[in-house]
Structure 1
Amino acid sequence: MFSKKNISALEAQKKAMWISYAPMIFQSAKSMINLGILDAIKDSGDEGMTVDEVVKKVSLTKYGIRVLLHAGLGAEIVYLEGDKYFLTTTGHFLLSKQIAANININFVHDVCYQGMFHLEDSIVNGKPEGLKELGDWPTVYDGLSELPDHIKKSWLDLDHYFSDISYPKAFKVLNKNSFKSILDLGGNTGKFSRFLLDNTKDAVITIGDLPGQIKMAKAEFERMEYSTERIRFQPINILDDAQDLKGEFDIVWMSQFLDCFHDDDIYKILMKCKKVVKPGGSIYIQDAFWDRQRFETSAFSLQQFSLYFTAIANGRSQMYDYKTFEEIIHKAGLEVVEITDNLGISNSLLKVKIKE
């Protein structure tokens, strides 16, 4: 994967042009989705649609339809036979829930797009210079609960899409050994904790996260009328040296959490986790590593997603390769004793123990 590839000069030239015009391709594709143009052409099936037929279907100007469809031809989203347009396979995938294309598009547009203008400054300065496009916080996590509703929705939709689908398989791994207490560190809105409530009888679950996220989690439990008899809440800024985790747990669970931190911060977090794991207990880390993906497309997506962390989230984290991550685990006096790959869309689950 990602070894040197020999492609023709014409193919390389085309790829360079794609990169040059990528923001325009993105916005034209998003517009064709939002305005119903791609859906209209998809619904036409084998008949296809002329520009005039699309105009009647979506009630937009002929000029607007034409300029978008012409852009879609070059982007290989639609193709033309005679005077009729049809969806390409790429066009179908953009509308498919199978790859969550619209979730990705909304996340990039609402959360990342303007902030990416500041990527170069973020690299040079080592901080998320693009975050100011969303608000005045040190990291996006400090302001997550305060984001405008549509931006918060796009952020949570992406986060939940990639985590939720992995929960059933991950739970089977956790459930190999009995546990009575679990710390859901970075629990966010409490989705995994609610899953645990639904699938365990007596386990006590503690959600640890920033105060703003704890507030969101409590609101979700109340909104969904969940009993919180087996739920505990532990507000904490895990990066604050003056704040330590409290309690003892059979399992410390972190899902799509540690990729939100720099190497040095992951080490600090793991050291804090070690202190609250009961003897014989385990730390479970669910995350997506680009070098453990089945398909190159998944790896590509994760590599590009890292830039969101750089420019917007915190300026210091990324979607890691497994080798780098494993080195941090070993440095913290821990070892990976079991790996389960291909959970959900792209996650791996690491079972981590304290070195004897």
Structure 2
Amino acid sequence: MQDKSFSPERQSAFDARFEAQKIAFGPIVFQCVRYAWKRGMLQALAEAGDTGLSVDELAATGRWTPYVLKVVLETCLSAGVVQLRAGRYQLDKTGYCVLSDTITQINLDFVHDVCYVGMHDLDRSLDAGKPLGLQALGPWPTLYEGLSSLPEPAKTSWFAFDHFYSDTSFPAILRDVFSSGARQLMDIGANTGKFSRAALAHDAQVQLHLVDLPQQLAVADITLREAGVRERAHLHPVDMLDPAAPFPAGMDVVWMSQFLSCFSEPVIASILQRAAKALAHDGQVLIMDTFWDRQRYDIAAYCLINTSPYFTAMASGNSKVYESTDYIRLCEEAGLRLVSARDDIGYCHSLLRFAKA
């Protein structure tokens, strides 16, 4: 892997100290900026345009007191979300991103609604190897058992986060999935069945085998019935953590999307070994995921790297956003060889294709 740094090549000690303070006060800045967005302050400034608004003018609307406006907007000022010119606040470029950029809003909601409270237990989760922050949302041993019954707004924000990244990629990879003429296709980690639905709609001959926990398959079953493609779908409830639980055999293609990152390396190794055994003679394993080491832009790598602590504190306690080299190594140990790799799919996905070694 190439050397990597997110800081400027030449950074003064003063600048480095300022960056350190941004980290120290990061959670406070996050909440103030989110308040300004959710409560309409940023929208009011956007509507005012270049003339901006004073605190008194904003307070005159009756929506906020002068105290609230000063506390929140001054923090937004320090974060570059707004500007202050001649006593009047104006929306800055970062503020426009918060106000209008979908991916920024989805990330903000995910961090606030799913991660924020539980992240207080990150230290204990790291030490124990268990998602101890998950208790902020429910009593499950991992988040995956509780996905279908997460409280709101965490449930909506989790699925919005998950689907936004994956859904943009599905249309771009269906030709890859069916390039070998697959007739028996297995979707491991089928989740809500969105990929399976797309695959069944793309090819009228394929038989789709969905492998996941029973509660997730129940949701996928509804998705496929509503789409009118349930007759070619076969549901296989499997506990991924049980290395003795086999996958259905004779598969032309085994598909996994944003799935292996939910598990520790030993569990990934077990899943890959079972996937390899499930392949037909010329079958292939296709893995689509978000690898931080294969990103073209630092912004994508930054977001992916900082999703890993969510897996620690909230999801599983022992998984993360991996480097592609981790998957390649584990696949090789499972008797698979890398055939090809395709990057820049959707927002930040890569597709790794493996065949039997």
Corresponding residue number in structure 2 for 1:219: 222
Asked if residue 159 in structure 1 is aligned to residue 162 in structure 2, the reply is yes
Structure 2 matches for 1:1-356, cutoff 5 A?
1-2=4-5, 5-57=9-61, 59-98=63-102, 100-222=103-225, 224-355=226-357
Given that 2:59 and 2:66 are in contact with CA atoms closer than 8 Å, whether structure 1 keeps it comes out as yes
State the percentage of identical aligned residues.
Answer: 38
Instruction: Return the letter of the residue paired with 1:45.
Output: G
- SS at 1:232 equivalent: strand
C-alpha offsets along residues 56-80 of structure 1, whole Å, 9 cap, x if unaligned? 4571222112211011011111011
* Whole-angstrom CA distance in 2 between matches of 1:275 and 1:348: 24
Residues 188 and 212 in structure 2, CA contact (< 8 A), matched pair in contact too: yes
**What root-mean-square deviation, in Å, do the aligned CA atoms of Structure 1 and Structure 2 show?**
1.5
Q: Per the alignment, do residues 66 and 137 of structure 1 end up closer, same or farther by CA in structure 2, a change over 3 Å counting?
A: same
1:28-57 deviations in Å (ceiling 9; x for gaps) = 111111101111111222222222333345
Give distance in 1, aligned partners of 2:183 and 2:50: 57
TM-score using structure 2 length: 0.95
SS in 1 for 2:158: helix
Tell me, in whole angstroms, the C-alpha distance in 2 between the residues paired with 1:342 and 1:279: 30
- Native 8 Å contact 2:243 2:271 kept in 1: no
Runs of 4+ in 1 over 4 A off after TM superposition: none
After TM superposition, the structure 1 stretch with the greater mean CA deviation from structure 2, 179-188 or 58-67, is: 58-67
Unaligned runs of 5+ in 2: none
Which amino acid counterpart does residue 41 of structure 1 have in structure 2?
Answer: L
CA contact (8 A) 2:182 2:252 kept: yes
Q: TM-score, normalised by structure 1?
A: 0.95
Aligned partner letter, 1:330:
E
1:84 and 1:210 map into 2 onto residues whose CA distance is 55
Whether the 8 Å CA contact 1:238–1:244 is kept in 2: the answer is no
Paired positions, count: 353
What amino acid sits opposite 1:85 in the alignment? Y
Question: 81-90 or 56-65: which moved more?
Answer: 56-65
Which blocks of at least 5 consecutive residues in structure 1 are unaligned? none
